[in-house]
Structure formats: structure tokens, C-alpha cells
């Protein structure tokens, strides 16, 4: 057995790299997938001389004392819906402050430290990270605004099959894009307190394609049906309010997306996950993302409050560290946001923020039938309906 420690950080301003993720059967039925499935590629726009390079450069960001009032500036990046870009960034900024305030209060010992950066070609970000707390080993919430370019083949590999994100661009031409997102991962110390992740994002390309994506998911170490009913129930209520098909579809999508394929088990107990959403008015998609993001504390906070003082054994702590090992495997091999950040030259400390400080790999560990650990693995191999 071995213990791995890593003090690292995520810019999941976007969730990408579909090359490793399963395709949902309904991808041609919803989310605009049909909108761009049969596009003529014989003509199209070329990236401008002022378009960003395909790889921004690991050291292209510049640390600043405080973040500008807005990282979204009219005239930066590809032509598009500037009011939506600005509105989405403001939503993310407001949520970053409110969520970190609430988590600090739950922790009761540590505050989030903040660092900000900008890029010469526009955009930048702000990371807020809490470490060594009373309740949380590490918790981070990252805001990112990116003006970049991607090769068409990479952009296509980063989406659901049938969606043409390179629409409007000449064949083989790199695709300038705008992306804004808020992402978070929170790793509590107590093995009875689940890890939680969320990411909400908005994209536009120079070819005129736009979409929303996001989701919130939970990764416990043990099965607690009441906790899962609360978490999933919170998001089902939001989904039902906006579209009666959302929860069923997005819950199933999360179960597929968070599958660790080489283990044939999910990272945790899911939640909701969606991408390529552009089949409704942009304001409708925005309203759904906004309500989901603003409900993170409502869905997660009571579970942590309930368990943060639970007693636990050394064996339970070791099990938590082994499950964190699975978390690391998923994030480094399959997570779209990690791959997207690495392919576009994102800020490394932000890209890898999702990783826990401590994790464990024990050779060929198989839980004994009848144990709580065995029941947990069963729920990961056979996703359950919680509400």
C-alpha cells in the first residue's frame, strides 16, 4: 500500500475531452445536437490574425493584486453575445463569494485565500482555496474566463457525437472560442462527509455556435440513503421546475459521465450533468444554470453539518483515502475539464485543484460481502435511483 500526497488545484472552466466519455443515447434528441449535425464544410470562416494561439502557454497568466471589475470585455475574443458573456460572469462571481462564505462558516476555523490572474489577450480568473480546515482538508472554487483557440478535431473530440462545434469555420481552421465558468471540488476530512464537485459554464465560438453545460455531483464513501434523497431531491426539484425531462436525463448522464471505465464503477453517486444545451432561448438555459449553481449550499451544506462531528475508525479513514484514489484516477484520465485545461495551456494550479491532498492505493483491495464498503461498491457498479 502507498499513500500519495499532492497539494494541487482545477480550472474546470469547462468540461471537455469526450474522447474518454460515454455518449448519451439522447444526444441527437436534445441540447442542440441536431442543430449542427449536417453542416457543409466546403466553405467557412478563417481564424483572424489576432486570434489566440491553440496553446495559450502555461506561464501566460499574470498574477494581479485584485481581479478587475470584469474579465469580460466587449471586443475581446470572437464576435458573439456580449450581454450573455457579461451576465454569466457576474453570476459566477456572485456565486463564488456566496458559496465560499457559506463553506467557511461550516468549517468554522479557516477562511478561503484568494489569488487572481489575467492574460494579455484577455480573460483571466480567480481561485479561492481553503486548506487545513477543521472540517475540510481542501476546498476550492475557481472562476475562469478564457479566450482561446482549439483545433477542430480536438473540439469535436470534446463534445457529444453529432454536435458540430466547429460550425461556420473553414475546414481545418482552428476555432477561436470564449468560455466562462465556475468550478469547485470540496474534500472533507471526515469519511462520513462526502466530497462534492460542481461546474457551470458558457461557451461561444467564432463560428457562431454557443452552448451551456454544467452539473453538481456528490462522492461519498458510504451509502446514506437520507443524504442522497436530500441531495438528489434538491436537484430534481430544480430540474422539474424548468423541464420535466431534465432530472431523468441529466441524472443518467451523470452516471455515465462519471464512470471510471477501467474499474467499471462510478466515481460516486452522481447528481446531474449536462452539456451542449442550446435548443432553447439562451435566457432559459441561463436561468436553469443559475438556479442549479445557487442551490449548491442548499444541497450539500446540511449533509456536512449532519456528519462533520461523526466519530470514525482508522479503517474508515483508510477506505476514504482509497476512494480518493479512485477520484484521482477519474480526474486525471477521463475528466473533460482537466484535459481541456491541459490542451489549451491553462493555469496548472487551477487545473489540478480538484485533486485531494491525500489519497491511497492498496493492492487488489476487495471489500468483504456484507460490509458497508461492499454495499458502496455495489452502488457504484449498479447506479441507484435515490428519488
H helices of the chain, in order, are: 82-107, 152-157, 225-242, 246-257, 282-293, 296-307, 314-333, 336-344, 348-351, 372-381
CA gap 257, 18 in Å, rounded: 9
Rounded to whole angstroms, what are the CA distances from 225 to 232, 255, 264, 282, 377? 10, 17, 22, 36, 15
Beta carbons within 8 Å of 354's beta carbon, 6+ residues apart: 9, 10, 12, 140, 183, 185, 197, 331, 335, 337, 338
Among 197, 230, 285, 307, the active-site one is 197
Q: How far apart are the first and last CA of the chain?
A: 37
**Is the sign of the CA dihedral 287, 92, 359, 230 positive or negative?**
negative
CA gap 163, 71 in Å, rounded: 28
Q: Which three three-digit cell numbers place residue 77? A: 475574443
CA gap 375, 387 in Å, rounded: 18
Q: Which of 335, 186, 188, 184 is nearest to 267 (CA)?
A: 335
Residues present in the chain in total? 387
Residue found under cell 506561464: 59
Beta carbons within 8 Å of 282's beta carbon, 6+ residues apart: 81, 84, 210, 212
Neighbours of 365 (CB within 10 A): 13
Q: Which three three-digit cell numbers place residue 11? A: 480550472
Phi, psi of 328 (to 5 degrees): -65, -45
Give yes or no: 61 in active site: no
| Positions marked active-site | 197
Amino acid at each position: 500500500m502507498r499513500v500519495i500526497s499532492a497539494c494541487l488545484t482545477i480550472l474546470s472552466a469547462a468540461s471537455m475531452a469526450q474522447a474518454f466519455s460515454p455518449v448519451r443515447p439522447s444526444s441527437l434528441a436534445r441540447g442542440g445536437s441536431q442543430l449542427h449535425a449536417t453542416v457543409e464544410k466546403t466553405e467557412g470562416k478563417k481564424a483572424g490574425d489576432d486570434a489566440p494561439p491553440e496553446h495559450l502557454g502555461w506561464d501566460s497568466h499574470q498574477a494581479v493584486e485584485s481581479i478587475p471589475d470584469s474579465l469580460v470585455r466587449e471586443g475581446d475574443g470572437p464576435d458573439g453575445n456580449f450581454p450573455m458573456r457579461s451576465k454569466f460572469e457576474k453570476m459566477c462571481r456572485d456565486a463564488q463569494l456566496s458559496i465560499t462564505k457559506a463553506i467557511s462558516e461550516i468549517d468554522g476555523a479557516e477562511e478561503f485565500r484568494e489569488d487572481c490572474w489575467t492574460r494579455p489577450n484577455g480573460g483571466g480568473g480567480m481561485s479561492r482555496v481553503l486548506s487545513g480546515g477543521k472540517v475540510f482538508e481542501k476546498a476550492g472554487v475557481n472562476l475562469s474566463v478564457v479566450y482561446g483557440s482549439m483545433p477542430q478535431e480536438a473540439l469535436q473530440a470534446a463534445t457529444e457525437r453529432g454536435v458540430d462545434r466547429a460550425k461556420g469555420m473553414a475546414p481545418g481552421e482552428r476555432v477561436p472560442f470564449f468560455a466562462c465558468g465556475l468550478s469547485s471540488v470540496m474534500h472533507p476530512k471526515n469519511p462520513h462527509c462526502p466530497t462534492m464537485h460542481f461546474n457551470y459554464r458558457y461557451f461561444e465560438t467564432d463560428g457562431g455556435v454557443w452552448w451551456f453545460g454544467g452539473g453538481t455531483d456528490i462522492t461519498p464513501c458510504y451509502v446514506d440513503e437520507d443524504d442522497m434523497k436530500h441531495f438528489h431531491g434538491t436537484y430534481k426539484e430544480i430540474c422539474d421546475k424548468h423541464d420535466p425531462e431534465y432530472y431523468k436525463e441529466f441524472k443518467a448522464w451523470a452516471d455515465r459521465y462519471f464512470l471510471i471505465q477501467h474499474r467499471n464503477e462510478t466515481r460516486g453517486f452522481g447528481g446531474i450533468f449536462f452539456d451542449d444545451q442550446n435548443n432553447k432561448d439562451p435566457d432559459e438555459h441561463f436561468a436553469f444554470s443559475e438556479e442549479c449553481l445557487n442551490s449548491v449550499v442548499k444541497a450539500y451544506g446540511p449533509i456536512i453539518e449532519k456528519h462533520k462531528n461523526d466519530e470514525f475508525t482508522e479503517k474508515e479513514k483508510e477506505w476514504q483515502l482509497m476512494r480518493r484514489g479512485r477520484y484521482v484516477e477519474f480526474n486525471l484520465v477521463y475528466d473533460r475539464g482537466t484535459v481541456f485545461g491541459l490542451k489549451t495551456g491553462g493555469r496548472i494550479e487551477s487545473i489540478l485543484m480538484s485533486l485531494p491532498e491525500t489519497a491511497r492505493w492498496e493492492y487488489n483491495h476487495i471489500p468483504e460481502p456484507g460490509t458497508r464498503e461492499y454495499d458502496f461498491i455495489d452502488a457504484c457498479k449498479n447506479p441507484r435511483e435515490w428519488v
